[in-house]
């Protein structure tokens, strides 16, 4: 089966190279048959990568320990559910997983291309298959997950205990999906540059695909935060680890693109800038893939250093330089149809938002690569840890929150003083008394007051937007207020979906700000019957319990909790030792409520039965997860196809494959 | 409403101007505070504080014990951080130094952001000025066009009268 799978990888590599060349030549030279052949090659490549993936999964389930990758990431006693996760648990398998997703996306793009952008799809397919060919080449010649060992092992090493959690199905998969899906908007942008058709055709598809990638990347980051918070026991949800940074940077750049693309759609401006943002986003995705796989930086996520690193570095360089050269060649044709009329306009405020988002992405990038830079320049490796990011990012995030409130309040083109006064008065009427109240009730430090009053300002601005829309529907359509709200959202999905995303960001930012600034913790070694008090919680250690399974041991601290003198139930905080190397994994004891989390980590124990416990009270953490969920719901609403627009457009007849025409640039 | 808002804004400015410092300079440092500013040298990429909380690690344990000992000796936070830097090098510090080459870590993001802000402001100002000039020319052209059409209509009406 492994031989069959490897043959499929090699064949898929050859066919994808052919497909990229045939699609490009077919499109340029208007050779329809060549494009049709390339189109079929897309389907064949998907079939072959599926076959290779199936071979790997089959090898995992049949415990074929003659394959090095299977032996490294599974064992006979590994439950079936985690056996599947072995596919993407290691470097070689995750590369195949990414290649399989990319081949699937190529099929979707080509099938969709029968109805939309028919003339341009060959160029898009050429770019997608070119990138897929590179990945398949790396898999085939440098990182083969189906590589056999000279001698089969009798037993595998097993999956890392840290990865034996349900999060293994949510966090890496969504993150990898996000990274790979960003290839599609990049391919659309490159198709526009290669073909020379630089009108808005590519923007609509690129925006939609960027939103899909953005959802997955957001989910990937959120699932990672939940994992870190509940299982890894990092004591927090975000550690500014280089690989976390790698997933965060493209998210910031894509967020900038999703905002600036509105200006191109509405006013035909920022064509060049949008191209640059798509290129930056995709380059950062490749950089993230490189960071995880090159071993160039210390990280709990990183795979071992190997031949893949230089190859991915070459791909990142190739993509960046190639796309910038193309951009340079098409520069004269990327002029805006209109220009900005005023500094006080929504367009200008969106540009400011773009600036801060990219500034934040750059700050994260700079902090991530600075140790390497310092090593190269001075020969001294400098540490750049979480406090650096917290100090540099805090003012930028604060500015972003304020801009999130300001942007919708300013009119397009040029805002009049009356417009500004009318729109700003209510949000400010929320923010300023809130700031004063927070100060008077004793909230410190200054950043906390600024952050929460800024969030109040944004909440005021969004409420005003909803109120005006609902009132207009009530007056114009006679809808009652409760009916007007869902109808308003449904009939303006893109606009109000965006506002709902912003509500999610407010909730998320509120949770982050509160838990970062007002978290309280205590650590102590306690004997049975002794307690640790944090705020109005008292956690009493009852006993340590040991439970042994097959090849695993769990030590659990049984805890009684009281709050304000009242019984608040029990908690269990444990450490389990699993796998051949008995690596410890933390399971946090968590009592989660909307106002705060009681968070208990069993750090260790002594021979005489005492437990070393860390007890923390983290305010408003639940709102981070709720905010993340609201963000995803808002994005789905904004993404939902507009039926009315579909009805307005002329219905395209389904063209038989043989009659597909390919356009010339 | 505006007067009320102006009063609130003034009050806010006064409050922020008189904002009290949250920590005293003479407060003894806590173990957690210092462990949060040191990178664990076990290769995990986390701070000593985070590493110690999340996994058994002899390196972070030893570093925490060293921090406790130095606090016991009455050393300040900067002295303790300096001592660790002299043992492990600058890579042990979670915050790059604000001097020499490491200053670039702090300054560059904000310089880039400021340069971007200046560039965007200049561009928008330039575009807005050019746009205003264009609309003046367009208005002038429109008015002369309008004047010509009126003249033509007057000529036509006079011709009809004749």
pLDDT value at position A317?
95
Where are the strands (E) in A245-353, listed by range? none
Q: Is the pLDDT of residue A277 over 90?
A: yes
- Residue A662's pLDDT band, with cuts at 50, 70 and 90, is very low
Q: Is the pLDDT of residue B135 over 80?
A: no
pLDDT digits (tens, 9 = 90+) for A67-111: 999 998 998 888 888 899 999 988 899 999 999 999 999 999 999
- How far CA A83 is from CA of A168, A416, A639, in Å, comes to 11, 62, 34
Pairs of CB atoms within 8 A across A/B: 164
Mean pLDDT in chain B? 77
Task: Evaluate the omega torsion of the peptide bond into residue A445 and state whether it is cis, within 30 degrees of 0.
Answer: yes
Q: Looking at chain B, which residue has its C-alpha nearest residue A430?
A: B5
pLDDT value at position A430?
92
Contact A383 B94 (CB under 8 A): yes
**DSSP type of residue A151:** S
pLDDT value at position A664?
38
pLDDT digits (tens, 9 = 90+) for A572-584: 999 888 766 677 7
Nearest residue, CB atoms, B113 vs list A359, A377, A385:
A359
Lowest mean pLDDT among A94-108, A326-340, A371-385: A326-340
Going by C-alpha positions, the residue among A259, A103, A111, A117 that lies closest to residue A192 is A117
Contact A384 B105 (CB under 8 A): yes
A445 three-class SS: coil
pLDDT value at position B162?
47
pLDDT value at position A648?
40
Q: Is the pLDDT of residue B138 over 60?
A: no
Contact B1 A385 (CB under 8 A): no
pLDDT value at position A16?
97
Residue the block writes with tokens 């890496």: A172
Q: Is the pLDDT of residue B114 over 70?
A: yes
Q: How many helices (H) and strands (E) does chain A have?
A: 20, 9
Q: Is the pLDDT of residue A640 over 60?
A: yes
Residues A658 and A123: their CA atoms lie apart, in Å, by: 18
pLDDT value at position A230?
85
Q: Is the pLDDT of residue B26 over 90?
A: no
Contact A64, A35 (CB under 8 A): no
**Residue A81, CA atoms < 13 Å, CB-side half-sphere:** 8
pLDDT value at position B8?
60
Q: Is the ipTM of this complex over 0.90?
A: no
pLDDT value at position B32?
83
Contact A591, A568 (CB under 8 A): yes
Read off the pTM: 0.87
CB neighbour list of residue A42: distance below 8 Å, 6 or more residues apart: A19, A103, A106, A107, A110, A125, A129
- How far CA A574 is from CA of A539, A547, A589, in Å, comes to 15, 11, 7
Contact B94 A384 (CB under 8 A): yes
Q: Is the pLDDT of residue A459 over 70?
A: yes
Structure tokens at B89: 């090098």
pLDDT digits (tens, 9 = 90+) for A113-168: 888 888 889 999 999 999 999 999 999 999 899 999 888 888 888 887 778 888 88
Contact B112 A425 (CB under 8 A): no
**Residue A644: how many other CB atoms lie within 10 Å:** 9
Residue the block writes with tokens 């200054």: A446
Q: Is the pLDDT of residue B150 over 50?
A: yes
pLDDT value at position A103?
97
**Which residue out of A229, A371, A382, A391 would a mutagenesis test of the B interface target, given it has the greatest number of B Cβ atoms within 10 Å?**
A382
Dihedral sign computed on CA atoms, order B47, B50, B52, B54:
negative
Longest CA pairwise span in chain B (Å): 114
Q: Looking at chain B, which residue has its C-alpha nearest residue A388?
A: B95
Q: Is the pLDDT of residue A334 over 90?
A: no
Contact A586 B54 (CB under 8 A): yes
Residues B84 and A482: their CA atoms lie apart, in Å, by: 62
Going by C-alpha positions, the residue among A27, A209, A35, A175 that lies closest to residue A105 is A209
- How far CA B104 is from CA of A392, A562, B116, in Å, comes to 13, 49, 17
Mean pLDDT of all residues in B14-41: 71
Contact B62, B71 (CB under 8 A): no
**Residue A537: how many other CB atoms lie within 10 Å:** 22
Mean pLDDT of all residues in B49-60: 78
pLDDT digits (tens, 9 = 90+) for A14-73: 999 999 999 999 999 989 899 999 999 999 999 999 999 999 999 999 999 999 999 989
Name the class of domain B28-95: mainly alpha
What residues of chain A lie within 8 A of the CB of B52, using their CB?
603
pLDDT digits (tens, 9 = 90+) for A473-532: 999 888 899 999 999 999 999 999 999 999 999 999 999 999 989 999 888 899 999 999
Q: Looking at chain A, which residue has its C-alpha nearest residue B2?
A: A425
Residues A574 and A547: their CA atoms lie apart, in Å, by: 11
Answer with the residue of higher pLDDT: B28 or A518. Answer: A518
Phi, psi dihedral angles at A557 (to 5 degrees) = -90, 120
Nearest residue, CB atoms, A366 vs list B19, B105, B121:
B105
Contact A341 B127 (CB under 8 A): yes
Structural domains for chain A? 1-164 (1.20.120), 520-621 (2.60.98)
Going by C-alpha positions, the residue among A384, A401, A213 that lies closest to residue B95 is A384
pLDDT value at position A295?
64
Contact A348 B54 (CB under 8 A): no
What residues of chain A lie within 8 A of the CB of B60, using their CB?
none
What order do you get walking across the sheet with A583-587 strand by strand?
Answer: A531-534, A537-549, A552-563, A566-578, A583-587
Beta-strand pair A537-549/A531-534: antiparallel
Enumerate the H helices of chain B as residue ranges: 2-17, 31-35, 48-54, 58-72, 77-88, 103-161
Contact A110, A39 (CB under 8 A): yes
């Amino acid at each position: 089966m492994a031989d069959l799978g490897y043959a499929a990888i090699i064949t898929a590599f050859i066919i994808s190279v052919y497909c990229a060349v045939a699609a490009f030549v077919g499109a340029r030279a208007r050779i329809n048959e060549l494009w049709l052949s390339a189109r079929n090659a897309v389907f064949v490549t998907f079939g072959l990568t599926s076959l290779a993936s199936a071979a790997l999964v089959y090898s995992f389930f049949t415990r074929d320990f003659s394959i090095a990758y299977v032996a490294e990431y599974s064992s006979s006693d590994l439950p079936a559910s985690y056996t599947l996760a072995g596919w993407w648990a290691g470097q070689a398998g995750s590369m195949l997983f990414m290649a399989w997703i990319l081949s699937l996306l190529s099929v979707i793009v080509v099938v969709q291309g029968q109805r939309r952008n028919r003339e341009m799809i060959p160029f898009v397919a050429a770019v997608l298959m070119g990138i897929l060919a590179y990945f398949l080449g790396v898999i085939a010649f440098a990182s083969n997950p189906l590589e056999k060992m000279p001698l089969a092992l009798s037993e595998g090493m097993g999956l890392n205990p840290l990865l034996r959690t349900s999060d293994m199905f949510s966090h890496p998969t969504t993150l990898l999906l996000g990274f790979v899906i960003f290839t599609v908007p990049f391919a659309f942008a490159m198709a526009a540059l290669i073909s020379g058709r630089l009108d808005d055709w590519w923007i609509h598809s690129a925006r939609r695909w960027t939103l899909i990638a953005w959802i997955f990347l957001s989910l990937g980051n959120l699932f990672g935060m939940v994992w870190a918070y509940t299982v890894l026991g990092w004591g927090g949800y975000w550690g500014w680890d280089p690989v976390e940074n790698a997933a965060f940077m493209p998210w910031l750049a894509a967020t900038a693109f999703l905002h600036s693309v509105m200006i191109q759609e509405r006013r035909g401006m920022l064509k060049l800038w949008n191209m640059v943002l798509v290129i930056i986003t995709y380059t950062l995705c490749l950089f993230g893939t490189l960071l995880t796989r090159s071993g160039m930086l210390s990280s709990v996520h990183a795979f071992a250093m190997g031949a893949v690193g230089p190859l991915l570095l070459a791909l990142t360089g190739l993509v960046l330089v190639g796309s910038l050269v193309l951009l340079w060649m098409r520069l004269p044709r990327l002029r805006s149809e209109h220009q900005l009329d005023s500094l006080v306009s929504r367009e200008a405020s969106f540009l400011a938002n773009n600036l801060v988002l990219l500034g934040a992405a750059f700050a994260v990038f700079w902090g991530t690569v600075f140790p390497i830079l310092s090593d190269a320049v001075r020969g001294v490796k400098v540490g750049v840890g979480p406090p650096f990011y917290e100090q540099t990012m805090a003012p930028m995030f604060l500015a972003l929150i304020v801009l999130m409130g300001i942007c919708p309040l300013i009119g397009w083109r040029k805002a009049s003083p009356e417009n500004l006064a009318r729109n700003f008065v209510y949000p400010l009427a929320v923010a300023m008394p809130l700031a004063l109240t927070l100060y008077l009730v004793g909230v410190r430090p200054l950043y906390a007051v600024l952050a929460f009053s800024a969030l109040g300002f944004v909440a005021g601005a969004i409420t005003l937007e909803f109120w005006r829309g609902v009132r207009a529907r009530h007056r114009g359509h006679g809808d009652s207020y409760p009916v007007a709200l869902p109808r308003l959202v449904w009939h303006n999905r893109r606009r109000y979906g965006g506002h709902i995303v912003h509500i999610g960001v407010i909730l998320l930012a509120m949770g982050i700000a509160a838990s970062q600034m007002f978290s309280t913790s205590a650590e102590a070694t306690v004997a049975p019957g002794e307690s640790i008090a944090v705020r109005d919680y008292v956690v009493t250690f009852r006993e340590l319990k040991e439970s042994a399974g097959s090849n695993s041991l769990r030590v659990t601290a049984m805890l009684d909790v009281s709050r304000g003198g009242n019984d608040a139930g029990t908690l269990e905080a444990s450490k389990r030792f699993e796998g051949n190397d008995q690596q410890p994994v933390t399971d946090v004891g968590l009592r989660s409520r909307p106002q705060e989390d009681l968070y208990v980590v069993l750090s260790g124990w002594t021979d005489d039965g005492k437990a070393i416990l860390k007890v923390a009270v983290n305010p408003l953490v639940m709102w981070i997860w709720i905010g993340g969920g609201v963000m995803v719901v808002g994005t789905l609403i904004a993404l939902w196809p507009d039926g009315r627009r579909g009805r307005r457009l002329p219905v395209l007849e389904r063209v038989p494959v043989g009659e597909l025409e390919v356009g010339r640039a | 409403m505006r007067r009320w808002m102006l009063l609130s804004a003034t009050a806010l400015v006064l409050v922020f101007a008189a904002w009290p410092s949250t920590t005293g300079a003479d407060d003894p440092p806590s173990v957690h505070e210092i462990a949060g500013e040191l990178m664990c040298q076990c290769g995990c990429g986390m701070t000593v504080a985070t590493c110690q909380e999340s996994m058994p690690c002899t390196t972070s344990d030893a570093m925490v014990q060293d921090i406790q000992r130095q606090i016991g000796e009455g050393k300040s936070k900067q002295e303790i951080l300096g001592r660790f830097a002299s043992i492990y090098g600058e890579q042990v510090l979670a915050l790059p130094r604000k001097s020499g080459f490491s200053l670039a870590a702090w300054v560059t993001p904000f310089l880039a952001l400021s340069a971007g802000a200046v560039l965007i402001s200049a561009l928008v100002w330039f575009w807005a000025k050019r746009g205003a000039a264009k609309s003046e020319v367009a208005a002038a052209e429109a008015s002369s066009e309008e004047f010509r059409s009126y003249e033509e209509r007057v000529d036509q009406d006079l011709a009809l009268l004749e």
